[in-house]
Structure 1
Amino acid sequence: MVLGPLGPSLAPSVLKNRSLYRWVKPVADWYVNLSGWRRVGYKYDDLIPEERPDVERALSRLTPREAYDRQFRLKRASHCSVLHDILPKDQWTKPEEDVRYLTPHIENVEKEEQERRAWDNMAIERK
């Protein structure tokens, strides 16, 4: 089991096993459509809570265009929430558009933090 930005993940093991992947994929697609976050224009990484320190650092590493697009999606989704409505179907996030734009930055921040902890806790031995 791999620890991802939202917690433990079985995704790597499911992706390795083709028969399991063929069984899980339709259920996963059904769940994504049922959850409704694409209907208000969100991408998957928009659902990651911003309050964590590693996510805050990852957000600061986004390009200005990515940061603007993220804020636009968040504002548009909150507007939909206030109106108790969803976007027109042509404005829904399509599965091919739903790419992980923040997760790679979060993973880099976590790797840097692990490396920093390793260097900070290094024991120096005198000979």
Structure 2
Amino acid sequence: MSAPSLTNFIVKRPWLRRWMTPLANWYTDLAGYRKIGLRADDLIPEESEVVLKALKRLSPKESYDRVFRMRRAFQCSLSHQLLPKEQWTKPEEVRKFQRTVFRS
């Protein structure tokens, strides 16, 4: 069973969504995974059958890109360095990917 979510409540109220969006962006930046080139989807553990099934559905290019991001992030972690700012994962890239993947 998953934890309760306030997402539907917030999305249905435009004034609340406008107020929460900067806070959500700030929190995402604070998490730091974009600074080592990862997407939020890369942080999900691959232990459940649902995640493994979803990973099998990725295109070969998207699967390769995911492995590349994971290895690059691991290397950054070992060297205790962040990527240059132009290589950080941008929010626009993540939204574009989510629109294309979740549409099908």
Q: Which has the higher strand share?
A: 1
Provide the residue aligned with 1:63 in structure 2: 59
The residue type equivalent to 1:94 in the other structure is K
- TM-score, normalisation: structure 1: 0.71
Q: How many residues align?
A: 100
* Identity rate, percent: 49
Residues 84-105 of structure 1 show CA distances to partners (whole Å, capped at 9, x for unaligned) of 111000000011011338x74x
Provide the residue aligned with 2:83 in structure 1: 87
Q: Distance in 1 between matches of 2:5 and 2:94?
A: 18
1:38 is the counterpart of 2:34:
yes
Residues 73-126 of structure 1 show CA distances to partners (whole Å, capped at 9, x for unaligned) of 00000000001111000000011011338x74xxx9xxxxxxxxxxxxxxxxxx
Q: Distance in 2 between matches of 1:8 and 1:71?
A: 31
1:13 to 2, 9, 13: 9
Q: Which runs of 4+ in 1 moved over 4 A?
A: none
Higher RCO structure (Cα 8 Å, ≥6 apart):
2
Change in Cα spacing, 1:45 to 1:8, as seen in structure 2 (3 Å) is farther
- CA drift of 1:21 comes to 0.6
- CA drift of 1:24 comes to 0.8
Q: Which has the higher helix share?
A: 2
Provide the residue aligned with 1:98 in structure 2: 94
- TM-score, normalisation: structure 2: 0.86
